[in-house]
Amino acid sequence: MKPVSDINTPDMSAFWMPFTANQQFKAAPRILKSAEGMYYHSEDGRKILDGTAGLWCCNAGHGRREIAEAVSQQISHLDFAPTFQMGHPLPFELANRLVEIAPKGFGHVFYTNSGSESVDTALKIALAWQRARGQGTRTRLIGRERGYHGVGFGGISVGGIPGNRKWFGSLLTGVDHLPHTLNIGKNAFTKGLPAEDLTLADELEKIVFLHDASNIAAVIVEPIAGSTGVIMPPKGYLKRLREICTKHGILLIFDEVITGFGRLGSPFAAQEFDVIPDMITCAKGLTNGAIPMGAVLVQNHIYDDMMAAGKGAIELFHGYTYSGHPVAAAAGLATLEIYRNENLLSRAADLAGYWEEAAHSLKGCKHVKDVRNYGLVAGIEIESMPDAPGKRAYEVFVRCFEKGALIRVTGDIIALSPPLIIERSQIDDLFTLLQDALQAQEIGRAHV
């Protein structure tokens, strides 16, 4: 057997890293070693302000002892037990807590292990529910351009990112897409949601007309699209989608993997925007990112119909070995307790004004062509280099990391989504670092 490599400088060849330019990264790695509160600590001993809550997941900040202790206790008490025709207490308990913070009418929780699994689960529940109520011809699923719904076959099919789709064959059949809602020409530098515009939501009527409602099971959208660059819905857009879905018997799924758990200032975007879907997918912030876990929150009418159709047998032929894993459930319970004790599910609303001003102070910075914000999310879009899309933002990312801030970039869009515990002074630090990195464009050395 080969000796174990030094933990600080491991041999990097074996780990095929996700969504990473492996060769480029391994030639010049960025290694995070530990984390506490608002900061990561890099391998070379630098403090890095976390402007992204990891990957939109550590809403309560890092190194939360309450979660570590709950996980540690649970793992020695009951490490694993099945949830197929068996049970153990914590997932029941956690489901009750989740239902308490979910919009009214959401009485049920189906557990998964990730956002991708939550999406595929919700799509399957939609199909099964339509069939259970005698509408088995409703098999079409509608997503949206520039939507990100994870990487399962269901998620990439309804998702709208060409790079995530084109390598993987014919995907799910019978999928259609709404147009995305980004319109920089009209809405650049809008604070919060762009002015009311229902035309893009009304595109759903055209899709329904084309396929006929009797063939459509569900529509899935992110209330605010995160991964593809923080894309806002115009005011009234989500409400109109809800109206059209209701009118035609189509289920509406909100993918709240990013917007859930306080990111926008309410527990879920559904409450923030006062638009109630039929299902909500979530993950990430559910356990503060500490242990993988996702969930689908389901309205009572769907669950009740499925129970009635099941007639006492297995009602839904779906589930994962780790659905409701006891250790993940312990992490989830401890996380929700922190959110409650520290009012974190509404803290983004308190900070939103300050955050908005800080984000929009970047207007006028070199190459910045749009700033978008809501709650504790911001997207900063910069002009692409003519022959190298994505290069400019990547350079800003590297420069920020070197100077002490973690940001995310997608193409030439910078996305910020810090832990909800961020203080005003840290918001200042984050935007100062980012501004310096933007202004340093083409002055500093090339990083790519």
Structure tokens at 405: 């801030």
Beta bridge partners of 220: 253
Question: Using CB under 6 A, which residues numbered 51 to 70 contact ligand PXG?
Answer: 55-56
Of 251-259, 370-378, 381-389, 440-448, the window that binds ligand PXG (rule: CB under 6 A) is 251-259
Q: Is 138 helix (H, G, I), strand (E, B) or coil?
A: coil
Asked if 181 interacts with ligand PXG (CB under 6 A), we say no
Length of the chain: 448
Asked if 116 interacts with ligand PXG (CB under 6 A), we say yes
Q: How far is the CB of 182 from ligand PXG (least distance, A)?
A: 15
C-alpha to C-alpha distance for 184 and 87, rounded to whole angstroms: 51
Q: Give the nearer residue to ligand PXG in terms of CB position, either 113 or 208.
A: 113
Q: How far is the CB of 148 from ligand PXG (least distance, A)?
A: 5
Asked if 32 interacts with ligand PXG (CB under 6 A), we say no
Neighbours of 185 (CB within 10 A): 7
Question: Using CB under 6 A, which residues numbered 275 to 294 contact ligand PXG?
Answer: 283
- Among 108, 138, 149, 242, the residue binding ligand PXG under the rule CB under 6 A is 149
Of 90-98, 113-121, 364-372, 421-429, the window that binds ligand PXG (rule: CB under 6 A) is 113-121
Q: Give the nearer residue to ligand PXG in terms of CB position, either 208 or 227.
A: 227
Q: How far is the CB of 307 from ligand PXG (least distance, A)?
A: 27
Which amino acid belongs to residue 73? Answer: Q
Q: Per residue in 329-355, is it b (16+ CB within 10 Å) or e — as a string? A: bbbbbbbbebbeeeebbebbbebbeeb
- Strand 294-299 and strand 405-406: pairing? unpaired
Handedness of CA 417, 422, 424, 430 (dihedral sign): negative
Asked if 408 interacts with ligand PXG (CB under 6 A), we say yes
- Among 91, 150, 262, 326, the residue binding ligand PXG under the rule CB under 6 A is 150
Helix axes 326-341, 65-77, angle to 10 degrees: 150
Q: 138 and 215 in contact (C-beta within 8 Å)?
A: yes
C-alpha to C-alpha distance for 415 and 392, rounded to whole angstroms: 14
Asked if 114 interacts with ligand PXG (CB under 6 A), we say yes
Number of H helices, E strands in the chain: 16, 15
Q: How far is the CB of 19 from ligand PXG (least distance, A)?
A: 7
Question: Using CB under 6 A, which residues numbered 216 to 235 contact ligand PXG?
Answer: 222, 226-227
Total residues interacting with ligand PXG, rule: CB under 6 A: 18
Residues that bind ligand PXG (CB under 6 A): 55-56, 114-116, 119, 148-150, 222, 226-227, 255, 257-258, 283, 408, 415
